[in-house]
Structure 1
């Protein structure tokens, strides 16, 4: 206040304080900043929560105040606010490193302070399966790092309920058919073994799930059904990224099944698998979210089906004379496409071939010969060198330099089929534009991978990444639902989770909340510094934005400022 005015009351007027927490629920609010009463108006409790967050951000400590004076000052004025995008998320990875429930709760606190509203829980991956599923208990019993590094149904419910109390939805991801090496520890019958050029199984190496077995679909269906009972959110992420087809190509029984089904390419094989999985999600009355490879593979496998879906054909219907090849499981009405690739570093080498026939196996055999000779540490190092999300994928021969995530670029250069179109990636803005032009709704994460750390103020590149930077119509722009910052966990656990994530994720949060016209980096830096100091004052070890020092929740950069 000014002139000695004092705020005695903060009054909240909430029309519906028990609104259900669903996608696209309104989050708007208004604040009348005056004395002696600050008035907050909101249509529901979620807008009211955001208003209180804003009020706390506006309150500046009265560091030079005398006894009896207010401890904080707030400016006079009026605030009317609402988010630009309805989906503003943060992905956390509990497979590469187990994150205790307490760390997840602290993450939810920081998300609420930053007005993020979706926790994307990447539950399991190649490295571990930490979810203690009641339907398939052997997955965690054999696939978790440790019996204590698991999530029970009660743990998941506690995360769900605490998130809901903060206005945050929990979207779980069960990533298949790739990223499932941990499944093999408890259920080896569900994955395809990797074989060398003589047909011998390579010890310790497994491929994706086996799409030819009904047991695979029984298991996936049971897990999805169990998750749907634990988490009420309408969105279920089913993954579909980085499916390496080379172990599929090495398995004679799978190739025989493909021949019997009339499936000629691995893109069609992945499409057939995803068709079944997406049908399960629809049967649970949920909307599926898929990584962009699923869309890319379907587009490459059946352009006619993609066009038919965009034109309004019903999901699961035939689009090429009724053939299996023409089936397309994903559909704009029932599927959201998650764009994550930068579109750089996926170029083929000079003269490289890109055969999509599973019978073209010479390059696969050559690769397996190299892979069998290489040590596991060398394979993992090669996988890490490509920037792949698959930390445990079989190594890719370094015949073609790769500078950005593109785990299949080298494989394609050697002639192996790439199920998800990894060598045909577009820059992310073009990919996003193509997805929404085809009629699909989309989420964006490509410019917001927080685990790709770099020296300096890397938050600036997150803040300046404009989601709608492609040329499109108003209707197409409206299909971009928002996006997510991603903190993949290869090098992140509970010890450094918060310092790596915050306040960098808050830069993404502001980009997804604020108007596109708000782009000034200098003013954003001041807000981010102050936000970080508030986080530290609340007990969250957020990393510094730059040189300075937090005093009473405010950052100071020199002695004079501290004494002011």
Structure 2
């Protein structure tokens, strides 16, 4: 049997073999699990392939496991027509289903939920069920995703096979936060598009959809407390109702994905004033939001109150980036307010961010802010703040040294709208660069790839996200010893995963070249 895990010798009773990078490259699993052993036999998926859940403490009252299993069956059987009457395989080589045992009866999805799992697929002649054990339903969903990648269509048998059995896989994520940002302000994304993005995230074991809902350009979301806000949408059709947002959260949760909502303040907010013009410092100077107007903070309170009824993730993102206070300083009534308060523009920026944080905390949220807030007044931020790095390297190192948590999204490495950033750049970037203390490393809760929407809409979002986001996904999921030291050593596996995404209906672009490139000519999917 092959082996791709590094363990200690168990007192001579069991020898684990350290497999070289070539063996890792030949295993077509993405992201690479923590520990894998495999054999050289073959099983075939039976016509009656079913889910067994006896011994599980999870009752599946909400149907999350049942739906996850149904999706598994759909994707492994979708590529080709299966001939169940082919007599070529014996009954001993038929895999009749998966036995799933979940230890926790709870299906609450929240930051830090246990996502580990253990998957065993037997040799022919043994019990006809694969065994999947997990602490939570969300670990079980990850196990189902891994199992789906062990399945391939056998053209001779006209059947779906599981090769290289027996499999023994033990797996857990390296980071608890593994995110993808989508931007529905620069271009509206219809619900079916967002759902497809969520599906593809689950294939790569990403677990946070960062929804940058509104920005200067548009405000597409219904806010019941302030219903005129979505007057800032591009059109009547390009809007999300509360029910739409609730459906996105529900859909994501059933796939093990949290939704991080973002309300970017005080900058990036010009669209707010189309419904409530008093939020603008003046009709000629429309952002940042008017810091001198109490209505501004009353409205933020109302928005976050409505958010708390929809978005149940423990974090809310309050932006705070790229705030140009020139508008405040040149508007007469705001300038007078600043003078009365003894503030300059920088002071007012700090005042706004900290007051917005307190509002969010009052609604039970912990706050994520872009790194400018840390760079300008990091010592003043609430100690529950998570600082979101985007401007460049070295930030996470300074954030954790200050005792705050950090999410890493270095724009030079993990911004998907930077089409000249290659998958190798995504794969090679290490979130813990220069952070060696285990205590400090724990403060980096994870990372996120960002799909900013200026040149992205429903027509090109999938090929801009994939396969480069998958490169970062392995960096965030796989243990440090499973990540290829040379990105090129991961090329064959990533190419295989990209083709798998295509087979599942995801418009992932070729691996070769830059972001969102078309194939450069005829050829195999696996060579592009």
In which range does the TM-score fall when normalised by the shorter chain? 0.7 to 0.9
Measured against aligned partners, the alpha-carbon deviations of 1:125-164 in whole angstroms (never above 9, x if no partner) come to 01100012111121212x1001010000000011010001
1:256 CA drift (Å): 1.8
Matches within 5 A, 1:459-474: 459-474=423-438
Asked if the contact 1:335–1:440 (Cα under 8 Å) also holds between the matched residues in 2, the reply is yes
- Does residue 28 (structure 1) correspond to residue 146 (structure 2)? The answer is no
In the alignment, which residue of structure 1 is the partner of 2:338? Answer: 258
- Does residue 110 (structure 1) correspond to residue 74 (structure 2)? The answer is no
Matches within 5 A, 1:54-65: 54-63=146-155, 65=156
1:288 CA drift (Å): 0.6
Structure 1's 556 and 262: CA in aligned 2 closer, same or farther, altered over 3 A?
closer
In the alignment, which residue of structure 1 is the partner of 2:279? Answer: 190
In the alignment, which residue of structure 2 is the partner of 1:214? Answer: 294
In the alignment, which residue of structure 1 is the partner of 2:479? Answer: 515
RMSD (CA atoms): 2.0
- Does residue 16 (structure 1) correspond to residue 55 (structure 2)? The answer is no
Larger deviation, residues 120-129 vs 52-61:
52-61
Counterpart of 1:207 in 2: which secondary structure? coil
Partners of 2:215 and 2:266 in 1: how far apart? 11
Partners of 1:244 and 1:58 in 2: how far apart? 52
Aligned partner of 2:390 among 340, 362, 384:
340
1:556 CA drift (Å): 4.1
In the alignment, which residue of structure 1 is the partner of 2:400? Answer: 436
Partners of 2:467 and 2:505 in 1: how far apart? 13
In the alignment, which residue of structure 2 is the partner of 1:51? Answer: 143
1:19 CA drift (Å): 2.7
- Does residue 331 (structure 1) correspond to residue 411 (structure 2)? The answer is no
1:17 CA drift (Å): 4.6
Matches within 5 A, 1:221-236: 221-236=301-316
1:8 CA drift (Å): 2.6
Partners of 1:109 and 1:209 in 2: how far apart? 36
Asked if the contact 1:62–1:72 (Cα under 8 Å) also holds between the matched residues in 2, the reply is no
Partners of 1:117 and 1:549 in 2: how far apart? 35
1:555 CA drift (Å): 4.0
- Does residue 66 (structure 1) correspond to residue 157 (structure 2)? The answer is yes
Counterpart of 1:209 in 2: which secondary structure? coil
Partners of 1:33 and 1:238 in 2: how far apart? 45
Matches within 5 A, 1:82-101: 82-101=172-191
After TM superposition, the score normalised by the length of structure 2 is 0.77
1:58 CA drift (Å): 2.0
In the alignment, which residue of structure 2 is the partner of 1:540? Answer: 506
1:25 CA drift (Å): 0.4
1:237 CA drift (Å): 0.3
1:76 CA drift (Å): 2.1
Q: What residue ranges of structure 1 are gaps of 5+ in the alignment?
A: 194-200, 300-305, 307-327, 343-427, 559-564
In the alignment, which residue of structure 2 is the partner of 1:356? Answer: none
Partners of 1:250 and 1:557 in 2: how far apart? 58
Q: What residue ranges of structure 2 are gaps of 5+ in the alignment?
A: 1-39, 44-92, 513-518
Partners of 2:120 and 2:114 in 1: how far apart? 19
Partners of 1:339 and 1:540 in 2: how far apart? 29
Counterpart of 1:148 in 2: which secondary structure? coil
- Does residue 499 (structure 1) correspond to residue 499 (structure 2)? The answer is no
- Does residue 528 (structure 1) correspond to residue 481 (structure 2)? The answer is no
After TM superposition, the score normalised by the length of structure 1 is 0.72
